[in-house]
Each structure stands twice: as C-alpha cells, then as structure tokens.
Amino acid sequence: MNATTNPGQLRVARRSPAYWRVTIDNPPINVMGPEMVGQFQHVINALEADEDLKVVVFDSAVDGYFLNHSDFLAKLEDLTSMPAGPTGLPPWPDFLVRLTRAPVVSIALIRGRATGNGSEITLACDMSFASREKTILSQWEVGVGMVAGGGPMARLPQLIGRNRALEVLLSSEDIDGDQAEAYGYVNRALPDADLDAFVDALATRISKFDKWAIANTKRLVNTSLPPDVELGAGWDACIASLGRPAAQEGIKALIARGFHKPGDVENRLGYYLGQLPR
C-alpha cells in the first residue's frame, strides 16, 4: 500500500497502514503561512483518528529547506483569526502539543534549514535525525526583536539544558548538524547519503511493533513534558512581539536585504541577523 493524498503544501504518503510520510512542499523556501497551519491541523486530525497508524515521518521536498520561518508577507489576521484547536491553544501550538502527545511515533527527517517553525516541529517530534552536511537549525526570533511562538522556550531547556537553550535562543545563530547532535538538539546527525535509509529502516521497524505498547510507553515518557500552557504563553508573547516597532523594523530591514526569497539572506540568516542596524 502506498496511497498518497495531496492537501496542497503537505503531502501525505501512506507507506503502509502503520507508517506514513508527511512531506512539506511549499517552494521556493518552505515558509509557513496560515494555509499550511490549517493543513497541519488536518494532518494531526488524521493521525489521531487512524487506529492502524504507528509511525509518521516528516520530511521535505524543497531543496535546502526542511520547514522555514513564518510567512511575513501573509496577513497576520488570517492566522490570528483561526479558531483554537481541541487543546484550547491556537492552531500552531495546538498542532505541536497534539503531535507530542499522539499515540503515534513522530520522526523529523531534517535536510536543509529548519528555521523557527522547522525547529519547533523538530522539538515536538519524538525523534529527529539530521543530515550532517545539509542541516541548519535556528531559533532566529530574538535577532529580529521577536519571541518564538511554537514553544522552544518550554521544550529546549528540558532537551539540551537551560544554558544551551539560552545560547540557541538569544544568539539567534545557525546551528549545524554536528553541533545540534553534540547539544542533544537532535538524536543524531548522519551523513546525508545515509539519512533516508536510516530513518526509513527505523520507522519500518517501529511500525511492526504493537501499537498498545508503543502508545503506553510514549504516554509514560510524556510525564516529563512541560505543561501545555507554557506553549500558549509563548504564542501570546510571539503575537505581542510582532506588534512592537523593533520587530517590524527588523523584519523590514531583513526583507530589504533579500529575506523571504531564495538567496544568501535565507541561506545565512544567522549572519545577517548580526548585521542589522540597532
């Protein structure tokens, strides 16, 4: 069985009844706007409802980008007017919380930039594996006068420790695959040529195990998670930060230099954040 559905910017491929792939495909640079947020809601609804599903892998079809920052050319009200999800949180943090708590194993296969939203879905997944040569992780928001909205302040300290979390968040620097592995930001960084086969073999192996055992093991491990309300607080701070002059000026300055389109600013965002006038 290899049935595929195509809800626009996310493609869902059913490798088997127990193993799905969700491929992010919004060229040229995989930004996440309100439309994609809505599609993530459809995906999580399907993951939660399917009794046979045991493993889902998130990957990308766009060269150089896993999942990028938000779409700053879209209307903010198109995002903020979306109804809350079942957790009571806005749609993006709702998706992240539900993914982490779903009775399904989630794996991020990271090749290319995982900037902002891409880092946040990485942190929400149960496991993450990165291309050593091609992965860049970034929580870039402080560098432009913003606060991140998808929960890294709540999740990163538990994953990599408080001091390293502050380094990642406050420096707004690009983190390559080797450094991400060393910090524990991802499970492993693998040679790019080996990444797909490794993740596919792991997902296939887990998909053959008993779902009850998988779901209950994950439920018990999840007692270590931060409270969901912490992600909601981060979202509120993010939306508030977008209205600040400092953030508006920072985003405009980046766009003037080539942000939001293919090129050197997107490829070396950490460098350009450090060059913005203050």
Residue pLDDT, tens place only, 121-135: 999 999 999 999 999
Check whether 6 has a pLDDT greater than 60: no
**CB-based burial label for 83 (10 Å; 0-12, 13-18, 19+):** exposed
What average pLDDT does this structure show over 13-18? 97
Check whether 2 has a pLDDT greater than 90: no
Confidence of residue 196 (pLDDT cuts 50, 70, 90): very high
User: For position 90, what pLDDT does the model report?
Assistant: 97
Check whether 20 has a pLDDT greater than 90: yes
The 10s digit of each residue's pLDDT in 54-91 is: 999 999 999 999 999 999 999 999 999 999 999 999 99
Q: Interior CA angle at 233 toward 227 and 235, to 5°?
A: 115
The 10s digit of each residue's pLDDT in 40-56 is: 999 999 999 999 999 99
User: For position 277, what pLDDT does the model report?
Assistant: 87
Q: Are 141 and 172 in contact (CB under 8 A)?
A: yes
What average pLDDT does this structure show over 228-255? 96
User: For position 1, what pLDDT does the model report?
Assistant: 34
Of 74, 72, 78, 105, nearest to 90 by C-alpha is 78
What's the count of helices (H) and strands (E) in the chain, helices before strands?
Answer: 13, 9
185-213 as b/e, with b when 16 or more CB fall inside 10 Å? bbbebbeeeebbeebbebbeebbeeebee
Query: Parallel, antiparallel, or unpaired: how do β-strands 175-176 and 10-16 relate?
Result: unpaired
The 10s digit of each residue's pLDDT in 161-184 is: 999 999 999 999 999 999 999 999
Largest CA distance in the chain: 55
Confidence of residue 19 (pLDDT cuts 50, 70, 90): very high
Check whether 4 has a pLDDT greater than 90: no
Check whether 7 has a pLDDT greater than 90: no
Chain mean pLDDT for the chain: 96
User: For position 278, what pLDDT does the model report?
Assistant: 79
The 10s digit of each residue's pLDDT in 208-237 is: 999 999 999 999 999 999 999 999 999 999
